[in-house]
Amino acid sequence: MKPAGMGSAQQSAQYRRWVIAMTLAFLVSMSNSLQARVNGLASDFVSNEIIAAMMSVGGGFICAAVLVAFHGPSRRSVGNLFTAGKQGRLQWWNYLAGMGGAVFILGQATVVPVYGVTLYMVSVVAGQSVASLLVDRLGIGVGPRRLITISRVGAAALALTGAVMIGIARPDGLILAVAGLAWGIGAGGLTAIQYALNGLISKETGSTLVTAALNFFMGFTLLIGFLAVEAAFGAQSFGAQSFGAQYFGALPSILENPLLWIGGPLGLLFIASAAFLVRTLGVLAFTVTAVSGQLTGALILDELLPTSGSVVNGLVIAGFAATLAGVLFATLSRQEVVRD
């Protein structure tokens, strides 16, 4: 939509900036789908989904930490992270927000090689749509508590239907796609909570970069826990040296295979860009544009760089459209605040 009242040269320039921002939001959001494909490739390379996820999350943390260290305002905001906790403005569990992102990244490494990018990204968006009802009703994050209205439930149901349609579109049928759909929907639900908590953390710290670094750190911590459980309950018992050789000996060289290491930077690019572009576009325009970019990117990747499980047909495109429509309707639905 063109901003109202465009007539003067100044307003025309403002409109051009708005269009440029929309285009950038669409293109940057496609990086989420590219990240999913990259992490799927890394998983195939190292033959371990947890290690592939750690490559992505660990790389993101290193990039975010370096940027915080060299950016004065962000570096000074680190103290706010601890002050807010001491003063009770942030609860201990608020700091765990990034663990939802770790589950999302682990899903990319696990689901995408088997089911393709589109099924995973659409099911994630559907999970976010459903979980956002509970997040808003409980008032998690910076916003007020909002009612669960019939229109918002219908919109979430439409998004969920789109994900199921993509599962049905697979030649092996919906039953075999249930695992991939379930992971994506669950990861989407956790990231909905993550986004809400990130808004609260960013408000307290005054820095998106600090929030991102915390997210990557907590996500990496969770993945270390997953790896420890896998090692403890695996078929073999590893000594210190053999454990390292088993899990980290096959890591790709960053010089020979740099593509496999860009998952984390792509995630950081989206986080930083979203914080900037939402100020220009507003939440409504950015949300719809971002989801459009994510899902379009997933379709393009499954068509041009398919995995063994990628499927693109008429029913997949219909499911894509249904999920996108559900997000649009949810965003346009009246947001009724709970009155205490």
**pLDDT tens, N- to C-terminus, the chain (340 residues):** 455 544 577 778 778 888 888 899 899 889 989 999 999 999 999 989 999 999 999 999 999 999 999 999 999 999 999 999 999 999 999 999 999 999 999 999 999 999 999 999 999 999 988 888 888 888 787 667 778 888 888 988 999 999 999 988 888 777 778 889 999 999 989 988 888 888 889 889 989 899 999 999 999 999 999 998 988 886 444 444 455 555 665 788 888 899 999 999 999 998 888 877 876 777 667 888 888 899 999 999 999 999 888 889 999 999 999 998 988 888 777 666 666 5
> Is residue 326 situated within a structural domain?
yes
> Is residue 10 situated within a structural domain?
no
> Is residue 253 situated within a structural domain?
no
Phi-psi region of 16 (alpha: psi -120 to 50; beta: other; left: phi over 0): alpha
- Closest C-alpha among 53, 169, 170, 180 to residue 120: 180
> Is residue 6 situated within a structural domain?
no
> Is residue 245 situated within a structural domain?
no
Structural domains counted in the chain: 1
> Is residue 22 situated within a structural domain?
no
What phi and psi values does residue 5 have, to the nearest 5 degrees?
A: 80, 30
> Is residue 99 situated within a structural domain?
yes
Spatial CB neighbours of 315, under 8 Å, sequence gap ≥ 6: 165, 166, 168, 169
> Is residue 65 situated within a structural domain?
yes
Domain residues for 149?
Answer: 30-232+262-332
CA atoms within 13 A on the CB side of 224: 7
What phi and psi values does residue 24 have, to the nearest 5 degrees?
A: -65, -40
Torsion sign (Cα): 147, 141, 280, 265? negative
pTM: 0.87
